[in-house]
Structure 1
Amino acid sequence: MRNFSMAIRSLFKKGRNNGIKILALAVGLAMGLVLVAKVCFERSYDNFYPDNDRIYLVKSGLNKDGKKDTWGQVSGAIAPGLKAEVPEVEVATRYTRIGPANELIMSPEKQFYKATILLADTSFFDIFPRPILVGDPKDVLARPGYVMISRSLAEKMGGVGSVVGKTFVREANRNSPQTIGGVFEDIPENSHLRYDVLGALASMPEWSTTNWLGNDRYIAYVKLVPGTDPEGLAPSIRRMQERNQDMEGLKQAGVDLFYTISPLQDIHNNDKEVKDMNAMLLFLATILILIAVLNYVLVVISTLIGRTKEVAVHKCYGASGKNIFGMIFSESLLHLLLALLLGAFLLILCKGKVEELLSASLSALFTVPTLTILSGICIVVFAVTCLVPTWLFLRIPVASAFRSVKESKRYWKLCLLFVQFVATAYLVALLITINRQYGAMISSDPGYAYENLIFCNTRGVSAQERERAMDELRRLPQVNLVSASCELPFKYPSGNNVGLPGDNRELFNIADMYSVGDNYFELMEIPILEGHAFRQGEANGDKIMVSRRFVEQMEKVAGWTGSAIGKGVMISEHSNGNQVYTICGVYDDFRIGSIKGPDTRASVFFYDMKPGGIAPTENILIKMHDMTSDNIAQVNQILTDAMPNKVVEASVYKMSLAQQYQGDREFRDSIFISGIVCLIIALIGLLGYTADETNRRGREIAIRKVNGATAASILRMISRDISYIAVPALTIGVVIAYISASDWLEKFSERIHLNFFIFIIAALFVYVVIIGCVLYRAWATANDNPIDSLKAE
């Protein structure tokens, strides 16, 4: 306790630089530990479900022409079929999503809430159990029109105890009220499956839930009997298919349909992007914690000479090695505790930004298992920050108290600075690459024009209201063109299969963009390569527009030659067995989806068959002459007046496009903050080193000045010494950054060109900052009167 009291008193002693040590350690640990917590959070996905090691996702697979493809959706009858016909399956369930994530729902009092809605069967909670606060989920999920809702949604709607029996409607379908039958505990953030409302799958048409082929809209899971080898299920699954599916017909169509199962915990953890991100975050965390610890040791070493007399006096009065160890132990423990408290304060202070960057709340990040891991890291940090200074102080001879000895620890400090410079150069160079790629992504040419484009989704609005809104918008002088579409290019459309009249083969799968309105291709400025776009006033119901890639694939698989215009094709879902569509135009391929994962399938468009098409044109597209806040406000006013029963607001297409890369922007910001933290910590250590060196070499500098050396030559000498370690360190840092950046860019279909000259610029930037700090700190010493320095000696 006495040692701890001495440690508290020593906090405020001059020459100890305790404030700098604690601040740098706090910032480095706060950033490093929160990144470790993020990695632990990502690795913990779905581990809260009981028996999660026995839960598997069912995937569909297709083998066509020797090429296998799998996807995580199945037909309606597959899940109950697996439960009924595969003995190793203990429980099976399925669900389907209706509406988009965070869809608006409305109470009878016209209060709006956002909710993600799933329809599931009665066995859903048998595989994914949640604490049930109110109601019986078996009963609720068996009744069409009834739903279970989450605790948080129930609290928004009036409270857990009072919501049962209340109703709401989806904004997209106000004719089907949903009755709340129960409340379940919120889904944890570390779940791949997030939802607020769970409705009864019995609300779906019977044919959809009982069909064995097609309509692959269901996500199915199975829980296996304990001790089951998942690899051994294939024969049983195949026999189920042979009993219930037309395997001969599939064979004649040239395809082999199969099913596989994938472990629940692999759904998130085995995603390549997640694994790459975890590896990078863990690397960053290691760098930040290492830099913080090295800086602490560096500052300790820099103050070592000033404490030689103190330690030697303690020894003269009988202090043993154990006493010295206790004194340094207490100081290190106090510094670490203060650093952790300051780090926690910084995290709370920046809570919003931290949660935004990491896409997780602090409560979800710092769970008990994660805190155990972080405590282990802190123990290692404490061991280093305690044992290294103790070892150094124990080596101080007693005679140092009585003679003017300036023992140089220069090589220790240079090694520590070297590591810090490597890490700083690495982060700065990597940040430049990530920022360039992010800028290229949000400004790249997708093959269509989206400048001055805004859009509005009108799901749930009648065709008459939508047409009235579009007519009003066309009258605005600031509006250039107005059109409509079912799909938006930056999203991922569903697929359908291509066939030929009189041929029962399914040739290939296409990205089905469904229907578009008049002037769509003109508004989007998609080049027409052959034929023409849909013409207003013509009978377009049996016409189709196809992409260049569509024609190229037909040339390969169907032997097409010459012009594609006028040729007939059949598209599943649209053709209903006999409808033939005639190609009226071929357009140039454009990017569907994002640069990170573009949809490379051929695409097709149909004409908007108002009002009874398969997929209505719910998105109103508005091309403005000038994009200003006033013009957008005027558009929103017209949309609101034309559709009074819907909450509408036009979205800027460019901003929605950039939203696809939200994760990359957050990653860029994380690198930026890590780089700034690393640079600051390194510069703190550098300033301490420079001050120590100028003090240690005071006599040498004074003698040089007496012999005619100028202040400039003194500064050059000190800068040259730092350059000997800075230049190779920065070189190593940018080389490692170049390798890391090359690997990171591999996940993008369109990527920037890596120019090593940019990395040289990054190294020069860090070098200039380093030399600037050295010159700033050494300026006073270089201009001191040498007589005063010699007198002090």
Structure 2
Amino acid sequence: MFKNYFIIALRNLSRNKVYAFINIAGLSIGLACAMLIVLYVKDEVSYDRFHTNVQNVYRITTQEVEKDGSKGRKDGNTGPLQGPRFARNVPGIKTFLRVQSGYEDIKSGTEVKSQDLLKVDSSFFSVFSFPLLSGDPATCLTEPHSIVITEDAAIKEFGTTDAIGKLLMLKDDSVFVPYKVTAVAKKCPQNSSIKFEMLVPINMAIEEESNSENWFNFYLNTFVVLEPAANKQDVEAKMQRYYTADSKDALKVLTEKYGDMGWKSTYQLQSFVDMHLSVDLPPQNGLTDASNPMYSYILSGIALFILLIACINFINLTVARSVKRAKEIGIRKVVGGDRKQLIFQFLGESFLLCFIAFVFAIGLVQLSLPLFNSLANKVLALNYLFDVQLVSAYIILFLITSLLAGFYPAVVLSGYNPVQTLYSRFNLGGKNYLQKTLVVLQFSLASFLIIATFTIYAQFNYLTTEKLGYDDSNLVMINKDNLTRSEVNLLKTELLKNDNIIDIAPKNGGQWGTAAKVNGDSVVQFTYETVNESYLPLLKIPILQGRNFSTDFPSDSSNSVLVNESFVTNAGWKNPIGQIVDFWYDNKKYTVIGVVKDYHFNSLSQKIGPELFTMKAANVYGMAYVKIKPNSETSSLKHIEQTYKKLFPISPYSYTFKNEANIRSYEAEAKWKQIMLFSAILTIFVSCIGLFGLSVLSAEKRTKEIGIRKVLGASVTGVVTILSKDFLKLVAIALIIAIPLAWISASKWLENYPYRITLGWQIFALAAVLVILIALVTVSFQAIRAAMSNPSKSLRTE
């Protein structure tokens, strides 16, 4: 019996190649998408779970307590005190580990390069299970000038992984000091929130660990390992009680010195495995690969959409083709076949077809993995498919898809009346509401994704083309730590010897933030920029009131500041020129001499906040902006590099174009733009091949009707209209359903951006026109073919 069913299934597939292709192609694409998303989700939830004792590892986090007692901002950073003091004084904490990110200059021969590394406590390899190729994990980080490197770093630096005892020259203050390699680690797993190439001891000064004011200094990550029997909530309560008692005197001193700045915090423990997908407390400051569970939800939804559409195609085509198999069903029933056997037969055919699609899907996954990895910022491989959990998931996916695609057609086909089918009196009959509903559903999903794609494209285009309020073209950024004013002048003099260099302006490295008092005791928090008189003119940032810094006013470097419009708004000033900004903690007061027009110093994903500019002599610069002439990149960059290396031979050289850096700040939006584009294309493709199959069947069922209409004088256009209008009605209904849902979802998504497009009717109209045109082309292809056929042939055929 099974052999008979199998042979019949193969014959049906070979005899109906078009429908077999449509079903297999659709299911293959749907299953491949589902497999890729399962791979993605599995990788997301597996982050950091490879560590042996990870269930007992927690990160110390804080939450600010506002002046009114309400809860404020959460932070995953701590200072140097929390780890050692909590470990010594809070029962239930077994050990601690501090992880601080940083860059160090490394000298190799005459070349100096900047290397990111982690500064960690000697307990690093006892807390985390990073395997070593060589070296002792218990002692490799105990000596002050020891260094642990990965196998990739060892090959890069020494040409071999046999690097124990070899020396690396790291810059310590202004002197290069030898560090001895004490261990070589394997490459960090790709699903790790801690990725490193080099580790050095944190070497915290005794003064820092003994100064209780460092309770309020946050700049590194602190992890603790709890005793197996410890209760997390109990430990948190004990931590808070100890912190309150131990920081009491320091808090009093700081409040008297700086005022009530909301110094108080509450301490919590965040499970190490929860960091990767945490929205409030993501991995940061040396920890990598922060993600958002929303990505998994969205991708899973897209995969479900595509797989559902493929199953809808299967159901629609199988039921629509049932007329051709009606006599077969009738004969089977007459010779004694019962309904259960017929259901089993058709389910078997469904399973066979799904199995073929499943095999093709694995091939599609292998072919598309490089592209998917690029879109999702992953390093997934096909061998991940052979994980026991994943294999189980795919088997379940296969069974569900087979049942979902085959159960309803099996029930419908097995219920035909044998008398009607054998006398050719059978008609599928009815209004085919299910079939029409499924067509509406799949085109609703497709329309929804197309509108989402258009919205993301429009928002991304807005983010990357909207004027920032300054000129970022042909602007080269050069990084140089501790750049002094005399060095800036020397660098400017040398660079301007090349005619392609227009000007140079220094700025502090990174982004500084601080607070100051205005109007007496009102505190304003702001971005704090250290620049000189060339900075604003170089970037073409307008000054709305007052004047710029000037060398004609020597006091500008000690007594004057510029502020932006947002600062003025926050301070509540109507006449900002001459107002006083009080840095009370430094006992310094500055006078506002100018107001700068608001510009986007961050990406458009962030709202413009208060900003203050100073020329304070005690502040150092960290980079220089160099303006070059258009189309002179090659010669200008060569001159900049030669000049830099001549003036700063022991400092690493690196540069970035400002406009390219600005575009990179929208990498997440760019990735989602591509993901949604591919999703929309796949959804439309799968929907259209299903619609094409239905149009072929519709034309076949109406062959005689078409012949009679043509004999009676109907035109090709008229016949095409008759065959197409029913399908286009369904597509129109799908658009009516999809547009409101897409508008709600798109509006909700755009709320994440302070600067965003306005959802106009154009996006929805364009999507509607596109969907209708695609459906019309799909249906019309077969309709035109049927309309142009010879009516005499169709009328001779019974």
The TM-score bracket by the shorter chain reads 0.7 to 0.9
Kindly provide the CA deviation profile for residues 424-474 of structure 1, in whole angstroms up to 9, marking residues without a partner as x: 110111111111111111122333221332323245999888765543433
1:84 Cα deviation from its structure 2 partner = 1.4
Aligned to 2:408: 388
**Structure 2 residues without counterparts, runs of 5 or longer:** 281-290
- Cα 1:596/1:727, change in 2 over 3 Å: same
Aligned to 1:782: 787
Aligned to 2:508: 486
Query: Residues of 2 paired with 1:310 and 1:115: CA distance?
Result: 73
Q: Does 1:713 align with 2:707?
A: no
Q: 2:399 aligns with which of 370, 379, 383?
A: 379
Per the alignment, in what secondary structure is the counterpart of residue 139 of structure 2? helix
Q: How does 1:351-366 map to 2 (within 5 A)?
A: 351-363=369-381, 366=385
1:137 Cα deviation from its structure 2 partner = 3.4
Q: Given that residues 122 and 138 in structure 2 are in contact (C-alpha distance below 8 angstroms), is that contact kept between their aligned partners in structure 1?
A: yes
Q: Given that residues 469 and 643 in structure 1 are in contact (C-alpha distance below 8 angstroms), is that contact kept between their aligned partners in structure 2?
A: yes
Q: Does 1:140 align with 2:140?
A: yes
Query: Residues of 2 paired with 1:592 and 1:464: CA distance?
Result: 26
- Cα 1:81/1:391, change in 2 over 3 Å: same
Which AA in structure 2 matches 1:516? V
Per the alignment, in what secondary structure is the counterpart of residue 739 of structure 1? helix
Aligned to 2:284: none
Q: Does 1:426 align with 2:459?
A: no
Q: Given that residues 91 and 126 in structure 1 are in contact (C-alpha distance below 8 angstroms), is that contact kept between their aligned partners in structure 2?
A: no
TM-score normalised by the chain length of structure 2? 0.87
Which AA in structure 2 matches 1:684? I
Aligned to 1:443: 465
Q: 1:509 aligns with which of 516, 521, 525?
A: 525
Q: Given that residues 496 and 571 in structure 1 are in contact (C-alpha distance below 8 angstroms), is that contact kept between their aligned partners in structure 2?
A: no
Q: Does 1:751 align with 2:767?
A: no
Query: Residues of 2 paired with 1:42 and 1:672: CA distance?
Result: 23
Which AA in structure 1 matches 2:526? I
Q: How does 1:692-707 map to 2 (within 5 A)?
A: 692-707=697-712
Q: Given that residues 112 and 652 in structure 2 are in contact (C-alpha distance below 8 angstroms), is that contact kept between their aligned partners in structure 1?
A: no
Q: 1:596 aligns with which of 594, 601, 605?
A: 605
Kindly report the root-mean-square deviation, in angstroms, between the aligned alpha carbons of the 2 structures.
3.4
Q: 1:522 aligns with which of 520, 527, 537?
A: 537
Query: Residues of 1 paired with 2:388 and 2:483: CA distance?
Result: 48
1:766 Cα deviation from its structure 2 partner = 0.4
1:420 Cα deviation from its structure 2 partner = 1.0
Aligned to 1:638: 639
TM-score normalised by the chain length of structure 1? 0.87
Farther-moved stretch of structure 1 (264-273 vs 292-301): 264-273
Aligned to 1:495: 513
Kindly provide the CA deviation profile for residues 227-251 of structure 1, in whole angstroms up to 9, marking residues without a partner as x: 4142663454343343345122344
Per the alignment, in what secondary structure is the counterpart of residue 164 of structure 1? coil
Aligned to 1:37: 39
Q: Does 1:27 align with 2:35?
A: no
Farther-moved stretch of structure 1 (432-441 vs 175-184): 175-184
What fraction of aligned residue pairs are identical, expressed as a percent? Answer: 22
Q: Given that residues 86 and 237 in structure 1 are in contact (C-alpha distance below 8 angstroms), is that contact kept between their aligned partners in structure 2?
A: no
1:83 Cα deviation from its structure 2 partner = 0.9
Per the alignment, in what secondary structure is the counterpart of residue 362 of structure 1? coil
Q: 1:263 aligns with which of 227, 250, 270?
A: 270
Q: Given that residues 15 and 303 in structure 1 are in contact (C-alpha distance below 8 angstroms), is that contact kept between their aligned partners in structure 2?
A: no
Per the alignment, in what secondary structure is the counterpart of residue 58 of structure 2? strand
1:765 Cα deviation from its structure 2 partner = 1.6
Kindly provide the CA deviation profile for residues 589-633 of structure 1, in whole angstroms up to 9, marking residues without a partner as x: 333432334473x32333375xxx54433x23122342x3xx111
1:700 Cα deviation from its structure 2 partner = 2.2
Q: Does 1:671 align with 2:676?
A: yes
Per the alignment, in what secondary structure is the counterpart of residue 75 of structure 1? coil
Query: Residues of 2 paired with 1:166 and 1:465: CA distance?
Result: 35
Q: How does 1:213-362 map to 2 (within 5 A)?
A: 213=213, 214-225=216-227, 226-230=229-233, 233-234=236-237, 236-244=239-247, 245-252=249-256, 253-254=259-260, 255-264=262-271, 265-271=273-279, 274-312=292-330, 324-325=342-343, 327-362=345-380
Q: Given that residues 545 and 587 in structure 1 are in contact (C-alpha distance below 8 angstroms), is that contact kept between their aligned partners in structure 2?
A: no
Aligned to 2:659: 654
Query: Residues of 1 paired with 2:447 and 2:490: CA distance?
Result: 59
1:579 Cα deviation from its structure 2 partner = 5.0
- Cα 1:170/1:683, change in 2 over 3 Å: farther
Query: Residues of 2 paired with 1:111 and 1:21: CA distance?
Result: 60
Query: Residues of 2 paired with 1:174 and 1:789: CA distance?
Result: 93
- Cα 1:622/1:529, change in 2 over 3 Å: same
Q: Does 1:620 align with 2:640?
A: no
1:722 Cα deviation from its structure 2 partner = 1.4
Farther-moved stretch of structure 1 (142-151 vs 768-777): 142-151
Which AA in structure 2 matches 1:445? K
- Cα 1:429/1:305, change in 2 over 3 Å: same
Q: Does 1:532 align with 2:547?
A: yes
Q: Does 1:567 align with 2:580?
A: yes
1:278 Cα deviation from its structure 2 partner = 2.9
- Cα 1:547/1:757, change in 2 over 3 Å: same
Query: Residues of 2 paired with 1:687 and 1:301: CA distance?
Result: 15
Which AA in structure 1 matches 2:127? I
Q: Given that residues 324 and 390 in structure 1 are in contact (C-alpha distance below 8 angstroms), is that contact kept between their aligned partners in structure 2?
A: yes
Query: Residues of 2 paired with 1:717 and 1:247: CA distance?
Result: 82
Q: Given that residues 608 and 616 in structure 1 are in contact (C-alpha distance below 8 angstroms), is that contact kept between their aligned partners in structure 2?
A: no
Q: Does 1:587 align with 2:596?
A: yes
Kindly provide the CA deviation profile for residues 9-68 of structure 1, in whole angstroms up to 9, marking residues without a partner as x: 554334562122111211122123322432343334333344544433323444343263
Q: Given that residues 86 and 236 in structure 1 are in contact (C-alpha distance below 8 angstroms), is that contact kept between their aligned partners in structure 2?
A: yes
Which AA in structure 2 matches 1:639? I
Per the alignment, in what secondary structure is the counterpart of residue 139 of structure 1? coil
Q: Does 1:685 align with 2:690?
A: yes
**Structure 1 residues without counterparts, runs of 5 or longer:** none
Query: Residues of 1 paired with 2:388 and 2:624: CA distance?
Result: 48
- Cα 1:206/1:140, change in 2 over 3 Å: farther
1:416 Cα deviation from its structure 2 partner = 2.0
1:507 Cα deviation from its structure 2 partner = 3.4
Query: Residues of 2 paired with 1:348 and 1:206: CA distance?
Result: 55
Query: Residues of 2 paired with 1:487 and 1:767: CA distance?
Result: 53
Aligned to 2:127: 127
